Amino acid sequence: MAEFKLDFQDTETAFADRSDAELVERRRLFRVMNSPVLNAFSTRAATFALSLGLPVKGLIKSTVFELFCGGETIEECEPTIQRLGRSNIGTILDYSVEGKSTEEAFEATKNEILRTIRRANDDPHIPFAVFKVTGIAPLGTLEKLSNKKKLDAKGQAKCERIHTRVNEICELAHSLGQPVFIDAEDSWIQNAIDDLAIEMMERYNRESVIVYNTVQLYRRDRLQFLKESRRAASERGYFLGVKLVRGAYMEKEIARAAEMGYESPIHGSKKDTDADYDAAVEYCLKYLDQISMVAGTHNENSTQRLAKLMYEKRIIPNHHHVHFSQLYGMSDNLSYVLAKNGYNVSKYLPYGPVEDTLPYLVRRAEENTSVAGQVSRELDLLNKEIKRRSLTQTQR
């Protein structure tokens, strides 16, 4: 009997809905990102130019924004939602406005998140909604809550508004039967986010999984946290929803720990992170009657391993408690091949005004450079497909 293996080098499938011109442009942009010097200069220059009010928005929108985002509004995302849907890939609308700090801005962001949930309702092409708590809450209050610091009257009022917003989002999701992710963030505010997520799961995950918490396995304590979360859900009578990721803030976490003189919460090696990620996946599969899992990863080995485990355990590819997810603009070889083979897979599709999503785009570009080999892998796949299509030198 042949060994089970998905062909993630199948570039014909990965780029089936991309034109020759789109492939060539994608390769050009990834080449820029593959150079740390050019990448750093480009992202800083774009941020500086926008801050001065220079007319560069159109250029940004037609290049790196178009590569990683769906548009400035939900309506602008529609063509991408439909295109991904034709390949049986879901879309997760991710309103990626960051860095706001006023109550008015938090309310506006909450209202936009509610719009994404309503848009997703009854659309099989949008299986999940998502939000970051920092989009609707002040950082200082989250940090105080995470450290169990006593709040004054003003802080208590802020805390109550945070809770009201989170509950309003999750309540709407529950009323519509629309699952929603609560994204993970920096370790020093994560305890408050976990507390909110657990409360919402206990309230709204009684019949099915509506609310998902996110577990960052590059943290040394998260595998144990996952196990404790499962046990708590079992004891209290609700389903656990988890999105498993490695983590997106490694450099920031390590730098802050060094600056403030505490032990870094991050694993000391990628090998240890990989081991915890794989162990977390296995743990979720073991308790699949109690846990709904989303494997948020661009790691080919992890993706292959999960698909193989499902095959060996005779778990059908489209089991409603197992999903895969990648970011839009990256790892199309994983997303499209998974979808072709019948697995539940979706893409995070960030959107929002160009100037407000720039922090996300800068982080995306920096992460692509810092994650060993990620951009090189994207380039290799693009080059392979360009060669397979026999594009002329002029087209290239």
- Residue 121 maps to a domain: yes
Is residue 52's pLDDT more than 80?
Answer: no
CA–CA separation, 278 and 270 (whole Å): 12
Domain residue limits at 190: 72-365
Model-wide pTM > 0.85: yes
**For the residues of 332-370, what is the DSSP string, one character each?**
HHHHHHHHHTT--EEEEEEES-HHHHHHHHHHHHHHHHH
Question: Do the beta carbons of residue 88 and residue 78 sit within 8 Å?
Answer: no
The one-letter amino acid at 162: I
- Residue 86 maps to a domain: yes
- Residue 390 maps to a domain: no
- Residue 87 maps to a domain: yes
- Residue 84 maps to a domain: yes
Q: Which two structure tokens, joined as six digits, stand for 363?
A: 């982080």
| pLDDT tens digit sequence for 219-275 | 999 999 999 999 999 999 999 999 999 998 888 999 999 999 999 999 999 999 999
- Residue 156 maps to a domain: yes
Specify the CATH number for the domain of residue 250: 3.20.20.220
**DSSP letter assigned to residue 207:** S
- Residue 34 maps to a domain: no
- Residue 52 maps to a domain: no
**Cα–Cα nearest to 277, from 231, 311, 242, 252:** 242
Which H or E run contains 90?
A: strand 90-95
Q: For the chain, what is the domain count? A: 1
The one-letter amino acid at 183: D
| pLDDT tens digit sequence for 148-205 | 999 999 999 999 999 999 999 999 999 999 999 999 999 999 999 999 999 999 999 9
Is residue 38's pLDDT more than 50?
Answer: no
CB atoms within 10 A of CB 288: 16
334 Cβ contact partners less than 8 Å away, ≥ 6 residues apart: 8, 298, 300, 303, 324, 326, 345
